[in-house]
Structure 1
Amino acid sequence: MSIRLNPYFVFNGNTREALDFYAKALRGNVVGIMTFGDMPENPSHPLTDEMKNLVMHAQLKVGDTDLMFSDTFPGTAHQAEGDTVQIAIHPSEEAEAWEIFNALADGGQVVMPLQKTDWSPLYGIVKDRFGVTFQVNVPGEE
């Protein structure tokens, strides 16, 4: 059996901004964006022009990983932020770790600065400006 998992980020109306931010910070490529307005109209649930422009689904390719994104549907509850899930990134080079960490920290909060640890030559934790927490970890020698 083979299973693939990928993070799916849900934002409250600012998915396009987040998608652009992560594409730059993580050096990813936007694969596609679908808006709520791209779907066939449903007369029982009409959409305003603002709703039509919100992102229903977007995909960002980062290396071999797919990150997916969506805005919450207007009127749907949105939990602002939380740390029940964190994203771990494992760049192979220290210079790359610094670039990614600094890009994610722009407008965010450094929780633990990048530093040498018992398990890694360079490890740190950063919460980005969208409230998502990332662990950046350069793998140690085996």
Structure 2
Amino acid sequence: MSVKSTTHLNFQGDARAALEFYQAVFGGHVAVVTYKDLGNVQDPADADRVTWGQVLAGNGFHVMAYDVPTGTPWDRGENAFFLSVRGENPEEITAYWEKLSDGATIARPLAPAQWAPLYGMLTDRFGVTWVLDVASEYGA
């Protein structure tokens, strides 16, 4: 079993530009999925914004990013990142979730999602927001 943690940066409209910039700096491949791609447009202003994106480079650099939906509170200095933990084994991710949940505020319970067999989000008792999921291939 293996698990990887990745910094997950949060923006409000700048995720694509940030990912393209980081790719220019570190190399690698940019992948972007928009709210429109997932059919999850709650506000038309969000349609072409990034609901999930990443830069993954052969040199080991990896960062994920998304645009916080319009109308969702966001402050560059307050909730600028999540810590993403992604694994291939649902039992392993569930075990991490159960431990991190102690004293946490659950934003989204760990459960199947449109884009992953399991996905959940919580803020732990120390104020760190974690996104845990089971990796899967995305097919637009």
Q: TM-score of the superposition, structure 2-length normalised?
A: 0.49
Task: Flag the structure with larger Rg.
Answer: 1
With CA pairs under 8 Å and 6+ residues apart, which has the higher RCO, 1 or 2?
Answer: 2
In the superposition, the TM-score normalised over structure 1's length comes to 0.48
